[in-house]
Structure 1
Amino acid sequence: MRQPSGSAQRVARKAGSKAKARRAPAPLTKAGRIRRLLFTAAVPNVVIVLIIMAIALGGLLLAGSPMAWWYTIVAESWMVFNLAPVSAAEVHISFLPALPALILATVVAVRVRSAVKHKVSVKDLLILLACVLGVPVLFTLISWLMLWDAGKVYDVSPPNLAQALLRVIVLHLAAMAAGMGTRLWRALAKCYGLPRLLVDATLIALRYLAYLAIGATVVFAVVFLINVSHQGEMMDEYPTVSGMGVAGLVLLSLLYLPNAIVSAASVLVGSEFSVGEGSVSLFSAHLVPLPPLPITGGIPASMPGWAIALLIVPVAAAVYSLYKKRPSFQEVLVATVASAVIMFIACYLVSGELGYYGATGPQLWTAAGLAALWMAVVGCAVAAGFAFVAWRTARMAEAGNTTGSEADQPAPDPAASDEDAAGNDVAADAAAEPEREPITDPEIVDAEIVEDEPTVDDSAEETENEEAPAGEAPADEPDESDQSGESDEGAKRSVAKPLSQELEAETDEEQNSSIKDSPEEGERD
């Protein structure tokens, strides 16, 4: 029974290794890597263009419109997908629905992730970055030229090229950064000697803004349901809108959902959302006649007094993103800067001109600054709390160690205390009378000699004593035990009764002479 099982396992293992070898990509040359990375970056953009072309062609055929409009529709749709401004009939719109651009950025990020999830070099990353930015920039230039050419015949005009390219670059650069992933960013930080907390703090900022977006979605949904009756009143003002028109308005409202979430988040941090001359914040609301979109029916005409309590949403988002991470003050500082940058980019992409209304969207600098302010305040409070807890724990541990060490020390011996006190008195007398006659006390002389002699290896003595029978002294040196005992006592006394250099030299000479004359003097004492 075992042999067939082992054979089957070996066959399966061999077949699996062969299949894995067949799936493993062959080493690529530099030109091959460029082609592969270019294909990775170009696929999402090409697919979007093909979808736009197919939908535009179908729409023109169904409506019976001239086919000459097809190029113009494709070019304008590409601009919309990349949040680049569009212009038609002298109406300029850069406040565009962000959902198509979010879908495109997600697809680009997934393609980038598939290209860098295994080993990748810095050169490959640079090539991939050039492809991710170069392909949409090229398509944008082509679309701009198509609109410029169509403007000679139709009532359209190309947008501001610098503004269009800037939006395209920011959108695809954000998709590239998201697709690289946390591991690759940490590896890059390690490669260039940057601290890891830059990546960790940026992740904290992303979590904070994600929780803020979730809270903004919930708040907007509740407000939308409360003001659902306003939508009917708004649609009644446009009685000529047909059923297909209503369906188109609903679809357009769905495409504007990311704009609504980012705008609601900016309002929750304390900033405001403006529509031309109108504005909405947690403190007040001043509205103008809004476009006939169902999503605009969720904008309240006035703000109740309790709306200021919604400031708890950014506070809760910051606390929840920081509590489990136990951040330091450096991480809080980096997370604050990252929150401001990311919030500014998000508000920039979802704001712009809305035809005759003018500037529409969240206030860029105010929203970014207030989002960073909440992160800074809450982050410093959380970091200070964790720092205090760590300091208190260290103090308690230090106090426990001190108490334990004092408990382990033996109780002081009264006799030794008296002896030390006497020694201190003698030392004081010696310091006070340095010019007196040399002391010839045998104990002090012996102590000075023992202190000047070379030290003995304690481990060797312990080894010799262990070899001797218990309770007996070593046979070779019967008299050194007594001398060592006396020497130890003398050493203790020498520590308690220090002498000057001159006095030490004199006592050494006298001791040497006394040892030569009477070797039993130390034993007699």
Structure 2
Amino acid sequence: MSSRNSLVRRTAGSRGTGETVAPPSGPEPGWWSLSPERARTLLLVAARPTITAMAATVLLVLVVMLTTGTDLTSAPAAVAATWLAAHQVPFTVGRTTLGLLPLVPTAVLVWLAARECARAVPNRPTPVELGWLTGAVLAGPLLMTAVCLAVTGDAAGVIPLQSPGPVAAFGWVFVLYLGAAAAGIASQAWSSLCAFVPIEIPEWAVLGARAARRTVLRMLGCAALATVISFFVHLSRFDGAFARAHNFTDVLGMAVLSLLYLPNVVIGAAGILSGAAVLFGAGSVGLFGVTGGHMPVVPALIPVPEGPASPWWAVLLLVPLAVGVLGGIELGRTSDDRPGAPWATLTCAALSTLTFLVLAILGSGQLGAVGWVGVDLLMLVVLMVTWFGFGGFVGMAFARRFLTPAAPAEDYYDDDDEYDEYEDDYYDDDEYDDEDHADDEDPVEYDDPAVEVDGELVEDFDDELEVSIAAPGSTDEPADDIVDVEVVESDLPDEDKTPGR
């Protein structure tokens, strides 16, 4: 059989059924064509998160207006303004500009869109499919934003609500949902997404990006812990924070509003731990000094320390340094590429700083008469890249000098990212399951395969037929009686098609 198999050439498109399957004829479908099932999936991606978010917005506005006794005539404008505020779009009521908006609704909306996008990612996506999917994620929110802008524009003559600029509104929505689409696609098809990059991504860049993710989470965890500790230290100001509440509804509303602003407070705490100051208009709060200024009296700001600054506050600078050292230790232990490990450390420091810069921008803004509230962005960038970079090099040198290298397999390979291309769909159980036939009492006898000789199908193939083939590199011409032989497998039951028989 070895000499025979040397001339076997399976017909393209056949799977052992004895029939030759011709390739599909006709022009290939264009990039604009979609199957009905795929179009339905994209429609759900575009509509379901938007409808869910709008339904929750309408319900929230109606509950607030009914509990406070507000006239429902302004409900459409309130719903539109709430939608825009949930997407970090600044708006102006009367003469008060509100740009410092809570991050919890924004995070929930982005998470819903990313989750819906991740469910719709195909197994081996093409650039066209990813383009359609990204467009579907953006289509629903952008359309709803256009409707909300029209509603606020019509309500401007009835209530003192100024419609925000379309550039700011569409810009914020586009950026937020573009990030949601990128996160959803990357969570399911990271290897396919990397394949579209025109340049090869070095290994140290991947390690640095993964270390940056852990660094950001550790820093946010330390900031959240510091916020909780400071809240209990300044618990005596709890009653004063609710001084303007007149009934249970006011207390509940202020408590819920403070919870919505909790991520903003944690981001500010991370900036303070790095050494940067948090600005409250003309005032500021930092580890090295507290400047008096007008600060809103709300429960969310109970953890904000009051001056003067104590000398021991400078010890808190060890927190970002320790986070950077820990990231460097992990890179030093898991990286086998000694020349690339320093670059991985720099990548970790740069990406971590960039992430906190984006979070600080999202968590800051104009707050009415108070002024601009947020972290000093320039000092944040300088200090965080210093702590994470310097600490990372110290940790990497320490790990190489004193610690045993760890097995990097768990860090290098993720089951969801690296091995998605090896799925069970690639291997049919009826084709590769030898155990189904291991205990058969009567072995199945197979007929000799049919052979196509010079265009004629020959059922009885003589095993003793001698075929001469010139050896590689030989100058001898093969015999004249060599024929073009193509083996076409005969019909077999599907359950009996096992390899090697």
Q: TM-score, normalised by structure 1?
A: 0.64
For structure 1, list consecutive stretches of 5 or more residues without a partner in the other structure.
Answer: 1-27, 393-525
Structure number with higher helix proportion: 1
What is the aligned counterpart of 1:72 among 77, 81, 91? Answer: 77
Task: State whether structure 2 residue 367 is matched by structure 1 residue 354.
Answer: yes
Q: Of the candidates 325, 333, 354, which is equivalent to residue 346 of structure 2? A: 333
Q: Secondary structure at the match of 1:337?
A: helix
Helix, strand or coil for the counterpart of 2:305? coil
| Equivalent in 72, 92, 111 of residue 116 of structure 2 | 111
Among residues 223, 235, 248, which one is paired with 2:230 in the alignment? Answer: 223
CA contact (8 A) 2:326 2:395 kept: no
Who is 1:323 aligned against? 329
Give 1:30's aligned residue: 34
Q: Give the Cα separation in 2 of the matches to 1:235 and 1:61.
A: 22
State the shift of 1:363 in Å: 1.9
Alpha-carbon distance, 1:61 to partner: 4.8
* Conserved 8 A contact 1:344-1:365: no
- Residue-by-residue CA offset, 1:119-158 (whole Å, 9 max, x unaligned): 3222221222222223222222221121111102211101
Paired residues for 1:264-275 under 5 Å = 264-275=269-280
Partner secondary structure for residue 158 of structure 2: coil
CA distance in structure 2 between the aligned counterparts of 1:249 and 1:60, rounded to whole angstroms: 15
From 127, 142, 146, give the equivalent of 1:141. 146
Gaps in structure 2 of 5+ consecutive residues: 1-31, 336-340, 406-501
Please, which of 182, 203, 228 is the counterpart of residue 210 of structure 2? 203
1:325 partner SS = helix
The alpha carbon displacement at 1:376 in A equals 1.4
- Find the aligned partners of 2:317 and 2:367 in 1 and give their Cα distance: 29
CA distance in 1, matches of 2:196, 2:248: 59
Residues 281 and 294, structure 2, Cα contact 8 Å, conserved in 1: no
- Deviation per CA, 1:216-249: give whole Å up to 9, x if none: 000111011000102323444x4x6333212211
Out of 210-219 and 365-374, give the one that drifted further.
365-374
Check whether the contact 1:112–1:179 (CA below 8 A) recurs between aligned residues. Answer: yes
The letter for the 2-side match of 1:127 is W
Q: 1:70 to 1:235 in 2, by over 3 A?
A: closer
2:178 matched to 1:165?
no
| Residue aligned with 1:68, SS | helix
Structure index of larger Rg: 1
Alignment of 1:269-348 (within 5 A): 269-302=274-307, 303-326=309-332, 327=335, 328-348=341-361
Structure 1 position 271, deviation (Å): 0.9
Q: CA deviation at 1:273?
A: 0.8
Whether the 8 Å contact between 1:85 and 1:160 is mirrored in structure 2 is no
| Alpha carbons of structure 1 residues 329 and 73: separation in structure 2 relative to 1, 3 Å | same
Alpha-carbon offset, residue 202 of structure 1: 1.8
How many aligned residue pairs are there?
Answer: 363
The separation in 2 between residues aligned to 1:249 and 1:61, in whole angstroms, is 17
Deviation readout 1:257-309 (Å, 9 max, x if unpaired)? 00011110111111111111111111111232422211212111122211111
Tell me the SS of whatever aligns to 1:298. coil
CA distance in 2, matches of 1:130, 1:69: 33
State the secondary structure of the residue aligned to 1:271.
coil
Is contact 2:345–2:393 with CA below 8 Å preserved after alignment?
Answer: yes
Q: What amino acid is the match of 1:73? A: A
Out of 73-82 and 370-379, give the one that drifted further.
370-379
Q: Output the CA distance in 1 between the equivalents of 2:369 and 2:290.
A: 20
Partner SS state of residue 360, structure 1: strand
Structure 1 contact 40–111 (Cα < 8 Å) conserved = yes
SS in 2 for 1:97: coil
Change (3 A) 1:190 1:332: farther
Q: TM-score, normalised by structure 2?
A: 0.67
Q: Find the aligned partners of 2:214 and 2:93 in 1 and give their Cα distance.
A: 39
Given that residues 190 and 196 in structure 1 are in contact (C-alpha distance below 8 angstroms), is that contact kept between their aligned partners in structure 2?
Answer: no
Cα separation, 2, equivalents of 1:223 and 1:298: 5
Which one of the candidate residues 230, 239, 250 is aligned to 1:245? 250
Return closer, same or farther for 1:281/1:60 CA change in 2, 3 Å cut-off. Answer: closer
Q: Look up the equivalent residue of 2:369 and give its one-letter code.
A: Y
What is the 5 A alignment of 1:327-476? Answer: 327=335, 328-385=341-398
CA distance in 2, matches of 1:275, 1:228: 21
The percent identity for this pair of structures is 26
Structure 1 CA distance for aligned equivalents of residues 188 and 249 of structure 2? 48
Which residue of 1 is the match for residue 14 of structure 2?
A: none
1:42 partner letter: A
Which fold has the larger relative contact order, with Cα–Cα distance below 8 Å and residues 6 or more apart in sequence? 2
